[in-house]
Structure 1
Amino acid sequence: MSYFFNKVVAITGGSDGIGKALVDSLLALGAKVATCGRSYDKLYSLQLQYASAPLHTITCDVSNEHDCQNFIESTIKTFGRIDILINNAGISMRSLFKDADFDVMKQIMDVNYWGAVYCTKYALDSIIANKGTIVGMSSVAGYRGLPGKSAYSASKFALQGWMEALRVEMMDQHVNVMWICPGFTTDEPRRYSGESPIDEETPIPPEECAAITLDAIEKQKRYVIMTFSGKRTVFSTRFFPTLADKFIHKYFFKDGKLVK
């Protein structure tokens, strides 16, 4: 019997990309799944695809606290509990800081950081009661600030710092808190990728990202960095930061202009 059989899994941003692949995989493994997104049409299509499956969908903008509360409370009302929360929803950017708009930078923080905080806060009592798991979809940009993605990097640093603190807070409650750093996936535009373009040379299928994520949840890992280039970037930043600066600059800039 699958580890996920009969478990209640709530996933934000489950209407496409990695989120959709997670929904597909979890339903196939016998889980009860709740997901949310901003597109009613995509969620409606998902519901039609799994008309007879234990799937709950609801429109939600995770940057809105009330929407997050509604998503979590409706999930518990539908299935009675939450065992696993996967904070998957996220947006990215491509702009030098000097050209970036404050509204865009704020939106990135609201979606990538506060969206996870809101959903986790409202789901926490149920997750504690079931000794469950909290997952955050992070990025190499949560370890290494990337040019052209300053606000995105800030949101992922915030996410990982918060999750690291929460992980220790939840140890006595036997709740596992973990984060996943996927590479750029094959069917997602950059603004939904949740990953830096440093991995775009070898995109990963969303189905593979989902499989790695579910394996990490089952094994109760602390974190996963999926790609070799991601692991190399994190390693070089930690042990050879000046060299990493030069490598990142060479990769992202040509003749003084941002090219990645």
Structure 2
Amino acid sequence: MSDFTNKVVVITGGSEGIGKALVDAFLYQGAKVATCGRNYDKLYHLQASYPGKPFMIHTADVSKEQESKSFIDAVVKNFGTIDILINNAGVSMRAMVQDVELETIRKVMDVNFWGTVSCTKFALPHILKNKGTIVGVSSIAGFRGLPGRSGYSASKYAVNGFLEALRTELLHSGVNVMWVCPGFTASNIRNAALNKDGQAQGESPMDEKKMMTAEECARHILKAISKRKRTLVLTFRGKETVFLNRFLPSLADKLVHRFFFKNGRLVK
């Protein structure tokens, strides 16, 4: 028996990356898992790898309020309740503010922020009843604005603020609200990141092999949920960035610029 045996766990964006690693980890721990994504084929193949397991999939784009509601309604119809909601679905971007189309930033905000808000809102009555957990998979970019990721940083700051407000509202309810801020984690998020025109850039400017794996990230998240933590900041570089930005912000500006730029050009 684990802390998650027979718990109903809802994970948005579970077809790949950290979301898929979370699906794998919770099913292994004996939870009942529901996930959604926009690509039915990826979801279908994921479900097919767990025959006989209490695992449901649902095609949904969480940037659309009605699709978020339909997903949550389907989970409750199938499993009867929700104990844990992990708002993991997200999209990044890579473009300078002077070049980016505003629609690109809107797309990022719609998925990362409004997707978190709508799924949380619709799942909240069930989580309140169970004194469960709400998690937002945020980012170091939610503590420190990153060049080339203005819309992404804004969306993650918004997620952190929304969840902090919600946590305070629910302080004596028995519900735990937590936001998780991975550092650079090996996943598809940089390949799928939107360019200035709002299209997937199709490549990663980073060395993915040197990053924390999605599976390791998922293990940290499960442990933090079990301990009902408030926040989780991962990787040494991530913790260092948050620390420097809080106490030495001008130095953080210079170090972040040095990391992302070379000869005045955004290279990461």
**TM superposition score normalised by structure 1:** 0.95
**1:219 and 2:257 matched:** no
Distance 1:197 1:232, change over 3 A: farther
- 2:125 match: secondary structure: helix
Alignment of 1:111-126 (within 5 A): 111-126=111-126
Structure 1 Cα separation of the partners of residues 167 and 206 of structure 2: 28
Structure 2: 5+ residue stretches without partners: 194-203
Structure 1 Cα separation of the partners of residues 146 and 53 of structure 2: 41
Greater per-residue helix proportion:
1
- 2:135 match: secondary structure: strand
Match of 2:197 in 1: none
Distance 1:177 1:199, change over 3 A: farther
Structure 2 Cα separation of the partners of residues 201 and 252 of structure 1: 18
- 2:158 match: secondary structure: helix
Superposition deviation, residue 256 in structure 1: 1.5
Q: Segments of 4+ in structure 1 off by > 2 A?
A: 183-189, 196-202
Structure 2 contact 135–177 (Cα < 8 Å) conserved: yes
Structure 1 contact 184–199 (Cα < 8 Å) conserved: no
Match of 2:198 in 1: none
Structure 1 Cα separation of the partners of residues 186 and 151 of structure 2: 24
Structure 1 contact 183–199 (Cα < 8 Å) conserved: no
**1:209 and 2:225 matched:** no
* Post-superposition CA distance 1:221-251 (Å, at most 9, x none): 0111111001111100100011111111111
Structure 2 Cα separation of the partners of residues 44 and 243 of structure 1: 47
Match of 1:166 in 2: 166
Aligned length: 258
Query: Identity of aligned pairs, percent?
Result: 59
* Post-superposition CA distance 1:82-139 (Å, at most 9, x none): 0000000000011000111111110000000000000000000000000000000000
Structure 1 contact 91–191 (Cα < 8 Å) conserved: no
Superposition deviation, residue 47 in structure 1: 1.7
Q: Which is worse superposed, 248-257 or 119-128?
A: 248-257
Please point out which of 231, 234, 252 is paired with 2:242. Answer: 234
Structure 2 Cα separation of the partners of residues 204 and 12 of structure 1: 21
Query: Which amino acid is 2:221 matched to?
Result: T
Match of 2:29 in 1: 29
Alignment of 1:189-200 (within 5 A): 189-192=189-192
Structure 1: 5+ residue stretches without partners: none
Structure 2 contact 205–267 (Cα < 8 Å) conserved: no
Superposition deviation, residue 202 in structure 1: 3.2
Superposition deviation, residue 182 in structure 1: 1.3
Match of 1:55 in 2: 55
**TM superposition score normalised by structure 2:** 0.93
**1:252 and 2:260 matched:** yes
Query: Which amino acid is 1:248 matched to?
Result: V
Superposition deviation, residue 258 in structure 1: 1.0
